[in-house]
Chains A and B, each alone.
Chain A
Amino acid sequence: MVPLERRRARRRAEWRRRRLVLLLMSPWLVGFSLFFGYPLVMSAYLSLNHYDLLSPPRWIGLANYRYLFGEDAQVGPAIKNTLWMIAVLVPLQVLFALGVALMLARARQGIGFFRTVFYLPALTPPVAATLGFVYILNPVTGPVNNILKHIGINGPLWFQDPAWAKPSLVLLGLWGVGNTMVIFLAAVLDVPTHLYESAELDGANWLQRLRWVTLPTISPVILFAVILGVIQGLQYFTQAYVAGNIASGQASQAGDVSSVGFGYPEDSTLFYPVLLYQHGFSDFQMGYASAMAMLLLAVSFAVTLVIVLNSRRWVHHAAGALK
């Protein structure tokens, strides 16, 4: 073949390959632009407008942000609650899942049974799990306080007490830790045994083996679990919304008169995504909700960046997962 023809043939193959890639990637390209790119741009635009979807958007500049950063008295509690949930639930979940996984790894019999028992609650629909917990933690009719009463403890008011509502949600979150636990279990079981052997030969006891062999080896998985937990914490909505509604006892039909359900009791379960939903879809403030969304986006990026950058220090990258 003449070099020119060869070049043309190569270019045709190149063009065919690009077409193939385009074809294969097309669903995601469309989806990404429509459901990621477009909303981001539109959110930014709407955040500078007043919009109730009943009349056209009206430009108000930074007024929404001024309200967000100064005058909306519920934003402070909402941000605090979300940060609290992340700071408390994520470490607790990781520690608890890790602890159970380590114990399971040491156990000889019954791993399959235990794994099933711990994993199943994580599969249950969050709505169903929340409903169940609100009931069993009912301070008067719920079985938990009844059992506590029999052993002489005056149980707290759980979801009815602003000081206990978030801890109740944490309990619910810990019940659903099965996903993380299974991942940790697999990771722990994957630690090469020769590392343990050499550690034992060096005279390390189980605590030292844990600290110097197990944890470093599974640190990428721990990082993964932490990032996942933080992302979920920033989106935390369903359990808080359902718990607040049910615990407040307000019939959501017949009248919609009071707003007691959002964040019940006393804004203690008012998380940032719940407030966003309330403002955007209950209060006719879609422009303002977009401003809240922009803030959430900024915080999500910042937090994830901080974690990933920090992770270089303690995460042992055996196989670069992201590259």
Chain B
Amino acid sequence: MSAAGITAPFVRRRRPAAVRRRQFLVAVANHAFLIAAAIAFLAPIGFMALTALMTSDQALSSHLWPHPFRWHNFVDVFTTAPIWRWTLNTLQYSVLATIGVLVSSIPVAYALARLRWRGRNVAFMIVLIALMLPPQVSVVPLYVMWAKLHLVGTLWPVIIPNWLGDAFSIFLLRQFFLTIPEEYLDAARVDGCGELRILFTVVTRLAKPAIAAVALFSFLYTFNDFFLPLLYTGENEHNWVLQIGLSEFRSLHQVQWNLTMAATLLVMAPVIVIFFLAQKAFVEGVTLTGVKG
């Protein structure tokens, strides 16, 4: 698993000065590159923050530094656009979808990982294939179906599929479930637990990091989702999520760039906050997908 700490390859003897100096220069160059890269990575957010604090005319000019600092922009954003309603819609989507993903993907992953049955490998292959499918392939018939059900314009077409299994979460959970030693499950079976009880009590407790990662990723993915909400609620402002609202922000009453940047930062903020609160789970989850997958 990943580790933040670094262990030296072996006990170092004192190296000759020339070698040490070369290694020092290399380290400096290394760090210099990293620092430069870090600055480049932080710069866009910095620029956005500076613009968010400018007046509307300043944002249209070529000034780099706000003069004065208009903190009130962040408040103005809320009066210019229905941010609260968008937030409510986004939460409705993300929370319901995440719960649905967990409820529907855990059993499937368990069946694929720890139960033996014919066709198990075929099913897993199909799950993987579904991962590779571009959503645009299924978009037209699904839209037609939801339109016939009179649900276009609402968020249900994007929420409901998450209650019927999500390929990525199934994959992640299955990989993790595979690592659970059989002894734990056997001990529970010996105690007389049925498979379902094993799943609900033992496995979920053991797989807490993976489940946390799945929940985080689901929430994040649905929070950032644009295409599907655009398709289904794009024409119904009442149900816009934050991403749709943000993309339309500039044309709502012809809002200028300073408020747009303020709104952009506000939309980015929850994600960043969640990251800092759940850093460990994030990194573990990411490595779960990449390294174990």
Contact = CB atoms under 8 A, between A and B. Distances in A.
Q: Is there a direct interface between A and B, measured as CB atoms under 8 Å apart in the complex? A: yes
Interface of A: 17-18, 20-21, 23-25, 27-28, 30-32, 34-36, 38-40, 42-43, 46, 51, 53, 100, 103-108, 110-112, 114-121, 123-129, 131-133, 135-136, 140-141, 143-144, 146-147, 149, 175, 179-180, 182-187, 189-190, 193, 196-197, 200, 221, 224-225, 227, 231, 234-235, 237-238, 241-242, 245-246, 251-254, 273, 276-277, 280-281, 286, 289-290, 293-294, 296-297, 300-301, 304, 321-323
B163 interface: yes
B273 to A, nearest CB: 11
Contact of B141 (A43, A180, A197, A301): A43
B192 interface: no
A189 B130 contact: no
B67 to A, nearest CB: 14
Contact of A146 (B1, B45, B64, B195): B64
Contact of A186 (B38, B64, B291): B291
A293 B137 contact: yes
A36 B164 CA distance: 11
Interface size class of B (residues with CB under 8 A): 35 or more
Interface string B133-150: 111111111111101000
Interface in B167-221: 170, 195-196, 199, 220
A118 B111 contact: no
A300 B2 contact: no
B231 interface: yes
A36 B231 CA distance: 18
B246 A128 contact: yes
State the main secondary structure of chain B at its contact with A.
helix
Given A28-B105, A46-B140, 7 more contacts: A18-B117, A121-B44, A127-B224, A183-B289, A186-B290, A189-B3, A290-B141
Contacts, number: 302
B141 A46 contact: yes
Contact of B290 (A146, A224, A281): A224
A254 B253 CA distance: 10
Given A25-B111, A251-B251, A136 B137 contact: no
B197 to A, nearest CB: 12
Interface in B48-64: 48, 50-51, 59-62, 64
Contacts of B144: 42, 46, 51, 53, 286
Contact of B62 (A146, A185, A189, A235): A146
B161 interface: yes
B79 interface: no
A28 B170 contact: yes
Contact of A40 (B132, B138, B287): B138
Contacts of B223: 125
B9 interface: yes
A30 B162 CA distance: 11
